[in-house]
């Protein structure tokens, strides 16, 4: 089959690789019909090389059609149309029963002290072959799927794999009171959905992003938007009687702009031999925290900052005095995808499309175009907000 593979920093290529096979009786194989490029894929493209091997298959936002199931799979059959959650979980362990599928005790990557295994990610999360490919092996397939109907287009359902439940969880964690005000930092794909979820819940949503096309997209869905300027936090406070917003979703993560020093560190780590780089990345402060600091400044006293963007440093400096003095709550973590499926499936199937899932993708392309589109997406060129690849095309 053809698959998008990691070959080095800012170097991904489409290669012919062996087709996946049933390795356990609980596995299934799907033929991938749509698979997206996620903002966190850019962390692999740019930062996490020490934890990836050349040839690893990327991608964790796939959907498709079941073509084969293992002997112990009872809830799927060939021909079923499914979305595959990005985290791999069992559904029955202590964590899964509590809606913490991203911490699944069956698939935790204990070698690195990490949570549940993920598709198409690093050694930190199991190094499981990903879904930017023509076919995908799905472990623990009875639980790791969302079965969907046959009538609606893929774009209606695809984002149930990651970014839509990630946004939903991020807003839920922000603990905004009824009729309150939510700020969203960053209007990439997760930020777009977080802002729309806030509007759907009846909040006043104020969103910040430096890219005018991203602000324009959010404005189509009832969001008030602001450019990323030195005065933006003051603007948000002015709009909330000087107090600050009730809750903030930071949808930016470790590659946020605003700290050239950390950017230099990230680049320098990438040039070290892998063992040395891994050791530093496991213990150092390596995140650009501009979005976190802005979120802490913008939230009111007693409010909540919800981190949906991925952070990776273990020695990042946080303003503990300010957090304590303002009584700020922090919520964060990988999304527990299956926890939110029942809430979201009716919304994506609603003919009114209340979360605007059909107004997000800016680029549809065959898998062969993936390398060029990684570059376009990272550089925010050509109005690129969300890329969906169709492996069956070309």
Question: Taking the mean position of all CA atoms in its chain, how far away is CA 276?
Answer: 27
CA angle 362, 367, 372 (to 5 degrees): 65
Instruction: Provide the angle, in degrees to the nearest 10, between the axes of the packed helices 337-349 and 163-173.
Output: 110
| pLDDT confidence of residue 44 | 87
| pLDDT confidence of residue 59 | 97
The strand ranges marked E within 295-385 are 299-307, 329-332, 363-366
Residues of the chain with pLDDT under 70: 47-48, 254-288, 312-313, 315, 394
Sign of CA dihedral 262, 266, 269, 271: negative
Q: Which two tokens stand for residue 106?
A: 């069956």
- Give, as one character, the DSSP assignment of residue 49: G
CB 92 within 8 A of CB 100: no
Tell me the C-alpha distance between 34 and 37, whole Å. 10
Q: Residue 266: left (phi > 0), alpha (psi -120 to 50), or beta?
A: alpha
CA dist 266 → 9, 96, 277 (Å): 12, 34, 10
CB 246 within 8 A of CB 180: yes
Host H or E run for residue 261: helix 260-270
Tell me the C-alpha distance between 160 and 302, whole Å. 32
CA angle 163, 164, 170 (to 5 degrees): 85
| pLDDT confidence of residue 257 | 44
| pLDDT confidence of residue 48 | 64
User: Which residues have CB under 8 Å from 263's CB, separation 6+?
Assistant: 288
Count how many Cα atoms sit within 13 Å of the Cα of residue 252 in the half-sphere of its side chain.
26
**In the chain, helix, strand, coil percent, each to 5?**
35, 20, 45
CB 82 within 8 A of CB 148: yes
Burial status of residue 331 (CB atoms within 10 A of its CB: 0-12, 13-18, 19 or more): middle
Going across the sheet that includes 181-185, the strands are 224-226, 204-208, 181-185, 245-250, 299-307, 329-332
Q: Which two tokens stand for residue 67?
A: 């073509």
Give pLDDT tens digits for 313-345.
676 788 999 999 999 999 999 999 999 999 999
pTM for this prediction: 0.91
């Amino acid at each position: 089959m053809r698959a998008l593979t990691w070959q080095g920093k800012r170097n991904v290529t489409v290669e012919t690789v062996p087709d996946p096979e049933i390795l356990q009786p609980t596995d299934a194989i799907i033929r991938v019909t749509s698979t997206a490029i996620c903002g966190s894929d850019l962390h692999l493209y740019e930062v996490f090389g020490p934890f990836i091997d050349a040839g690893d298959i990327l991608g964790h936002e796939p959907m498709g059609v079941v073509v084969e199931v293992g002997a112990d799979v009872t809830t799927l059959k060939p021909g079923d149309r499914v979305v595959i959650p990005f985290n791999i979980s069992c559904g029955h362990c202590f964590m899964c029963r509590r809606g913490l599928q991203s911490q699944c005790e069956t698939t935790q990557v204990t070698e690195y002290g990490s949570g549940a295994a993920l598709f198409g990610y690093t050694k930190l999360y199991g190094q499981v072959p990903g879904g930017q490919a023509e076919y995908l092996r799905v472990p623990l397939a009875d639980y790791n799927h969302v079965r969907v109907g046959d009538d609606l287009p893929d774009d209606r359902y695809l984002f149930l794999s990651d970014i839509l439940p990630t946004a939903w969880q991020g807003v839920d964690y922000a603990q905004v009171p009824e009729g309150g005000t939510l700020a969203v930092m960053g209007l990439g794909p997760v930020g777009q959905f977080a802002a729309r979820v806030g509007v759907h819940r009846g909040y006043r949503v104020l969103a910040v992003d430096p890219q005018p096309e991203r602000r324009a997209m959010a404005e189509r869905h009832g969001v008030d938007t602001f450019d990323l300027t030195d005065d933006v936090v003051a603007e948000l406070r002015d709009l909330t009687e000087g107090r600050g917003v009730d809750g903030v979703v930071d949808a930016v993560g470790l590659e946020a702009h605003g700290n050239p020093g950390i950017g230099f560190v990230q680049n320098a780590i990438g040039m070290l031999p892998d063992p040395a780089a891994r050791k530093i990345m496991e213990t150092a402060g390596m995140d650009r925290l501009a979005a976190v600091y802005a979120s802490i400044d913008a939230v009111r006293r007693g409010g909540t900052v919800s981190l949906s963007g991925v952070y990776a440093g273990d020695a990042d400096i946080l303003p503990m005095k300010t957090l304590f003095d303002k009584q700020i709550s922090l919520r964060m973590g990988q999304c527990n995808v299956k926890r939110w499926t029942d809430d979201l499936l009716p919304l994506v199937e609603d003919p009114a499309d209340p979360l605007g899932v059909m107004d997000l993708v800016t680029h549809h392309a065959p898998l062969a175009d993936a390398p060029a589109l990684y570059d376009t997406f990272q550089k925010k060129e050509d109005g690129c907000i969300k890329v969906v690849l169709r492996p069956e095309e070309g």
